[in-house]
């Protein structure tokens, strides 16, 4: 298991798979921070730094994809989607081009960058777009494997990555699959469906809960679209209560995706949501923001306890 930010796993994988001549990488002037620079340093003839011109970057990626290239278009999530909705809808999704949109520095986890950089609506955006696959890896290893999987996946995709370093959850024996969730730990009292960095927060909460003989199940939902409906239904029924945890607005993200699956399959169990409650946050450290806006391990712990009562 390797500790590290998911953006670091992405950069390392790009460098590793770059020998494939089909792969091209584009960035919008932040390649050092997104880690796409690793690919650019090694394969400069297939790396395009488009500057602060995200719409042009997405359209160029779509054009390259029509020539048979596997195009990774990368920037901070707030810029990548906030400035390119028309290009993403038309040139990528509607045209069904083989473009992989990779948004880093997502959620409240960007902390001190402030509310204009805290992208908390990108999962809602991309889940609602036809033809779009939506992925959010939980750790370094899963980010490496998800990047590799996107090379083989044909069609539009959005991958959401984080800035903070997180503890390793998986080693190389783990096999990421698009469309499949993963049971990180099987319990019996309640199931926590978490995504991205909130998998780590959930693990911290579980340490305290287990000391009091409360044994949650933790499921990593790393593909939000297509979501693993079978696993969600199975674990919701098996555990009898559900908590979702995401660094995203509670509207349109993981919580809604899980609720949609439960509703479609007539699963009715107690349910609680951990996430940003439809508000813009402030500037602060990750720890401060997670605590103030209800995303911390302590909030997950308290939510589980109240739900079981």
3-class state of residue 96 by DSSP: coil
What is each CA distance from 56 to 50, 63, 83, 159, in whole angstroms? 7, 10, 10, 19
CA distance 167 to 86: 36
| Sign of CA pseudo-dihedral 238, 220, 20, 16 | negative
| DSSP conformational letter for 112 | G
Question: Is the peptide bond between 226 and the residue preceding it cis, with omega within 30 degrees of 0?
Answer: yes
- Contact partners, residue 190, CB within 8 Å, separation at least 6: 214, 216, 217, 239, 240, 241, 242, 243, 304, 307, 308
Alpha-carbon distance 228 to 243, whole Å?
16
Strand order in the sheet with 271-276: 182-185, 217-220, 191-194, 242-249, 271-276
SS3 (DSSP) at 246: strand
Burial of 61-84, coded b for 16+ CB within 10 Å and e otherwise, reads bbebbeeebbbbbbbbbbbbbbbb
54 is catalytic: yes
Q: How many helices (H) and strands (E) does the chain have?
A: 13, 12
99-104 vs 70-76, strand pairing mode: parallel
Active-site residue identified among 15, 16, 54, 234: 54
What residues are labeled active site?
Answer: 54
């Amino acid at each position: 298991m390797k500790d590290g930010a998911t953006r670091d796993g992405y950069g390392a994988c790009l460098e590793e798979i770059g020998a494939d001549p089909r792969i091209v990488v584009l960035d919008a002037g932040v390649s050092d921070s997104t880690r796409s620079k690793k690919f650019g340093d090694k394969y400069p003839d297939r790396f395009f730094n488009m500057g602060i011109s995200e719409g042009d970057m997405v359209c160029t990626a779509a054009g390259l994809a029509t020539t048979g290239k596997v195009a990774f278009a990368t920037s901070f999530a707030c810029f990548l989607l906030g400035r390119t909705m028309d290009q993403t809808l038309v040139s990528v999704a509607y045209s069904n081009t083989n473009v992989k949109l990779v948004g880093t520095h997502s959620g409240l986890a960007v902390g001190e960058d402030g509310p204009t950089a805290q992208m908390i609506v990108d999962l809602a955006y991309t889940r609602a777009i036809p033809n779009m696959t939506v992925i959010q890896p939980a750790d370094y290893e899963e980010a490496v494997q998800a990047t590799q999987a996107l090379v083989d996946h044909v069609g539009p995709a959005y991958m959401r990555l984080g800035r903070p370093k997180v503890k390793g959850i998986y080693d190389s024996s783990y096999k990421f699959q698009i469309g499949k969730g993963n049971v990180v730990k099987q319990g019996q009292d309640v199931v926590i469906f978490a995504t991205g960095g909130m998998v780590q927060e959930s693990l911290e909460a579980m340490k305290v809960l287990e000391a009091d003989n409360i044994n949650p199940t933790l499921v990593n939902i790393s593909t939000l679209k297509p979501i693993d409906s079978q696993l969600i239904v199975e674990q919701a029924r098996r555990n009898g209560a559900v908590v979702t945890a995401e660094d995203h607005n509670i509207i349109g993200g993981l919580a809604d995706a899980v609720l949609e699956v439960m509703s479609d399959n007539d699963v009715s169990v107690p349910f609680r949501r951990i996430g940003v409650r439809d508000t813009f946050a402030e500037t602060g450290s990750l720890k401060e923001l997670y605590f103030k806006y209800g995303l911390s391990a302590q909030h997950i712990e308290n939510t589980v306890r109240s739900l079981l009562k």
